[in-house]
């Protein structure tokens, strides 16, 4: 699985990258801190997964999602990490095309677990249904 990791916080990106690359078969193929660079990186590198922060210095994750949705078919699996876990925010990201939305400060383990499950194609559907049930 290839991953593009996009977050304005370099420390968060570095920490998450180290944890992700411990997963067998995962390679982080790009890192970014702004929305335009993230969009270009996703379009050019065509990762399997894109992990995006909900906000960047020059825009929002929704901007990236809308651009990717228009320009890339099919888009990668999108995981959004957000500082605003409100239902309205999660609904907006879901409507824009996010596959998974996690609270950045509290749910980083769920990001790792989700990537691990996505790396197990035989168990993906059952495992992802199980993960979704955790949020209910």
**Which CATH number characterizes residue 89's domain?**
3.40.50.2300
In three-state secondary structure terms, 74 is: coil
Domain around 121:
2-135
Give pLDDT, residue 20.
95
Average pLDDT over residues 11-20: 94
User: Virtual CA dihedral for 30, 46, 16, 92, nearest 10 degrees?
Assistant: 120
Average pLDDT over residues 50-62: 84
Asked whether the beta carbons of 7 and 81 are under 8 A apart, the reply is yes
Place of tokens 């420390």: 11
Give pLDDT, residue 131.
62
Number of domains in the chain: 1
Q: Is 86 left (phi over 0), alpha (psi -120 to 50) or beta?
A: beta
Q: Give the pTM.
A: 0.86
Asked whether the beta carbons of 3 and 25 are under 8 A apart, the reply is no
**pLDDT band at residue 112 using 50, 70 and 90 as cut-offs:** very high
Measured in whole angstroms, how far is the alpha carbon of residue 71 from the centre of its chain?
18
Give pLDDT, residue 61.
85
DSSP 75: P
In three-state secondary structure terms, 125 is: helix
């Amino acid at each position: 699985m290839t991953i593009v990791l996009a977050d304005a916080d370099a420390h968060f990106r570095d920490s998450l990258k180290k944890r992700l690359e411990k997963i067998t078969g995962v390679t982080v193929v790009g890192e970014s801190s702004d929305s335009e660079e993230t969009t270009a990186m996703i379009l050019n590198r065509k990762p399997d997964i894109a992990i995006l922060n909900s906000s960047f210095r020059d825009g929002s994750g929704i901007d990236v999602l809308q651009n990717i949705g228009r320009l890339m078919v099919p888009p990668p699996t999108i995981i959004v990490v957000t500082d605003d876990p409100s239902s309205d925010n999660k609904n907006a990201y879901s409507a824009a095309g996010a596959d998974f939305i996690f609270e950045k400060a509290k749910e980083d383990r769920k990001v790792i677990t989700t990537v691990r499950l996505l790396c197990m194609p035989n168990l993906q559907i059952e495992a992802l249904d199980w993960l979704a049930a955790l949020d209910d």
